[in-house]
Structure 1
Amino acid sequence: MLKTVRIIFWVVVVATALMQVWDEYQALQWRKPLHVALYPVNVDDSAEVEAYMATLHEDDFKVIAQYFAREARRYQLPLSQPVVFHLGPVIKQIPPAPPAVNAPLLDIILWSLKFRWFAWQHQPPVGLPVDIKLYLLYHDAHTHSRLLHSTALQKGRIGRVNLFAVAAQHEQNTVVIAHELLHTLSASDKYDLNTNAPLRPQGYAEPYMQPLYPQKKAEIMAGKIPLSASRARMAINLDETIIGRTTSREIGWAQ
C-alpha cells in the first residue's frame, strides 16, 4: 500500500511539472493575450503608501500594455494586444524576500518554493484567469532613497517588484514593471551584474549605430541609456526603451 501511495505521489509530481512546462511553452507561442494580475503591497505599512495605493486605477497601467503592443508591432507579432493588465486588491502580506546574490543554491531553491507557495495562497480573483502575477511592493519615498533589485521567476510566472509610492515616480515604475514581467517570460538581464552597466551588444538599443554614443534609448532588460563607454542613465519612462532583438528571441517574438 505504501509503495502504491509513493508511486501515485511521484506520478502527480511529474504530471504537474509536465503541465507547467507545457503551459510555459504555450504562453510563448503568443496565440492569445497574456493576462497579468497586479497586486499592490504596502511594504512599509505607511499611511502615505496606503494613501498612494488608494489612488491607483487599472488605467494607470495601460501605458505598459500599449508599450507591449507597440513593440509587438515592430516584430510583426500577429497579436494586436499581447499583454492585458488587471489591478487586483491590496495584499496585506509581503512576499518572501530573495536571498543574497551569492547565496547557496539551496537557499535560492527554497526561496523560489516559498515565493511560489505565497503566490498560490495570495491570488485574489481579478475577474478572469491570469497567466502572470506581479506583486507591486510600494515603498515610502520619504524613507527610501534607493530600492533593492526586483525579482521575478519564470517558473510560476510571478514577480516581486520594488517601487516608489509617489506619483512623480509612476512612469519610471512602469519601466521596472515591464522589465520584471519580461523576466517571467524567459528574458534575461542585459546589464553587468557587478557594475549595472548595459552589456554590448545585447544591452544596447542600437548596438551598431554610428557614432555609437550617445544612444537614444535603453534596451528594456538593461534599463539604462548608454551615453558614453563609461556613462549611462536610467530610462525615465517606457518611451525611452525598446525590446531588443535578443530579448525578442528569448520571449518568442523573433527567431
Structure 2
Amino acid sequence: MTQPRFATIRLLVLLACLVVVGFTALHQRVYSRNWNQTLEAVVYPINGDDHLATNSYIQNLNSDDFAIINRWGEREAERYALALPTPFKVTLGEQISNLPPTFPDKANAVKVLIWGLRFRLWAWRNTPDDGGLTRVRMFVVYQTGEDNKALQHSLGMQKGLMGLVFAYSLHKQTAQNNIIIAHELLHTVGATDKYNAYGGPLMGIGYANSNRIPLYPQRNAEIMAGRIPTSSSSSYMAESLRSVVINTYTASEINWID
C-alpha cells in the first residue's frame, strides 16, 4: 500500500507544480502585455569565450550602452499613441560567470523541451533575486568572434520572460547588438519573427512600410526582420535602432494596437 500512496502523492505534487507554472505564465503574459507600467528588462552579460578582450568589453559596459533601446521604445510608442510613454526600461545587471546550457543540434520537440527546462533552472540558479515574476531577464553571451565561428541563434521566450542573446564583444558591434537585444525583448511580449529561411524579410509583414511607393528601397528595417529590403531578393542589416521601426503587424502582436 505504501508504494501506490507514494505514487499518488508524487502525482499530486506534479499537478500542483503544473498549476503554479501555468498560473505564473498567465500572470507574466497578462502583465507584460497590458502596458500599464514600464516593463523592466535587465541585461546580464556573460563572457562566452573566456577572452580577455571580451572581459574588458563587459567590464566597460554600463546602462547607458542600452539607453538607445529605451529611447527607441519611446519613439515607437509615440508613433502608435501608446498611453505609456516609456514601454520598457533596459538596464545592466551583474555579470554571470556560468555559461547557459547549449541549445541542442538538430533539435526535436523533446530536446527543445528538455533544454528549456534546463535553461530555466540555470536562469533561476544564476539570478535568484531577479525582481520577481514580472521582470524580463536578457542573458547576453559576448564573444570576440576571432574564431570565425558564426554566433549561435538568439532566443526570446514569452514563457518565463527571458532572452538568450549571442553578441560580439566589439565596440563597433554595440549598435547592432542592441538591435538583437530589442528583437529578443519583443519576443518575450509576443512578437514573432518576420524573416524567411535565408534571413531575408518576409514580403509585407517583414517590411517597415509595405505600402511605400515605390516599394523599394525601403528606408528602414522592421524590428522582427532586422534587415532593410532593397529589392524582393536583397536586403542589408540595419546599422542601429535609428533605422528600425515596429510595423503594424508587430504592434498588434505586442498589444499596442487592436
Tell me whether 1:38 sits opposite 2:61 in the alignment. no
Tell me whether 1:122 sits opposite 2:126 in the alignment. yes
The residue number in structure 1 matching 2:251 is 248
The separation in 1 between residues aligned to 2:102 and 2:181, in whole angstroms, is: 17
Gaps of 5+ in 2: none
Helix, strand or coil for the counterpart of 2:230?
A: strand
The residue number in structure 2 matching 1:237 is 240
Report Cα offsets for 1:59-87 as digits up to 9, x if no partner: 11110011111111111111111111221
The separation in 1 between residues aligned to 2:21 and 2:145, in whole angstroms, is: 41
- Structure 1 residues 16, 240: closer, same or farther in 2, change over 3 A? same
Pick aligned residue for 1:176 from 173, 176, 180: 180
The separation in 1 between residues aligned to 2:202 and 2:48, in whole angstroms, is: 32
Equivalent position amino acid for 1:119 in 2: A
- Preserved contact between residue 37 and residue 88 of structure 1 (Cα < 8 Å): yes
Report Cα offsets for 1:40-76 as digits up to 9, x if no partner: 0000000010011111011111100111111111111
Give 4+ residue runs of structure 1 displaced > 2 Å after superposition.
1-9, 141-146
- Structure 1 residues 125, 79: closer, same or farther in 2, change over 3 A? same
- What is the deviation of 1:200? 1.2
Pick aligned residue for 1:112 from 110, 116, 136: 116
The separation in 2 between residues aligned to 1:9 and 1:183, in whole angstroms, is: 29
5 Å-filtered alignment, 1:11-26, equals: 11-26=16-31
The residue number in structure 2 matching 1:132 is 136
Percent identity over the alignment is 35
- What is the deviation of 1:4? 4.7
- What is the deviation of 1:152? 1.8
Helix, strand or coil for the counterpart of 1:236?
A: coil
- What is the deviation of 1:149? 1.8
The residue number in structure 2 matching 1:67 is 72
Equivalent position amino acid for 1:226 in 2: P
- What is the deviation of 1:195? 1.1
The separation in 2 between residues aligned to 1:116 and 1:89, in whole angstroms, is: 18
- Preserved contact between residue 28 and residue 160 of structure 2 (Cα < 8 Å): no
Report Cα offsets for 1:124-175 as digits up to 9, x if no partner: 647x555110111101133336322211211111111011101111111110
Report Cα offsets for 1:165-216 as digits up to 9, x if no partner: 0111111111011011111111110000x21110011000011111110000
Equivalent position amino acid for 1:225 in 2: I
- Preserved contact between residue 32 and residue 79 of structure 1 (Cα < 8 Å): yes
Equivalent position amino acid for 1:143 in 2: D
The residue number in structure 1 matching 2:12 is 7
Gaps of 5+ in 1: none
- Preserved contact between residue 89 and residue 124 of structure 1 (Cα < 8 Å): no
The separation in 2 between residues aligned to 1:163 and 1:4, in whole angstroms, is: 45
Corresponding pairs, count? 252
The separation in 2 between residues aligned to 1:46 and 1:125, in whole angstroms, is: 28
With the length of structure 1 as denominator, give the TM-score of the two structures: 0.93
Pick aligned residue for 1:28 from 25, 33, 46: 33
With the length of structure 2 as denominator, give the TM-score of the two structures: 0.92
The separation in 2 between residues aligned to 1:38 and 1:79, in whole angstroms, is: 22
The separation in 2 between residues aligned to 1:138 and 1:132, in whole angstroms, is: 19
Helix, strand or coil for the counterpart of 2:42?
A: strand
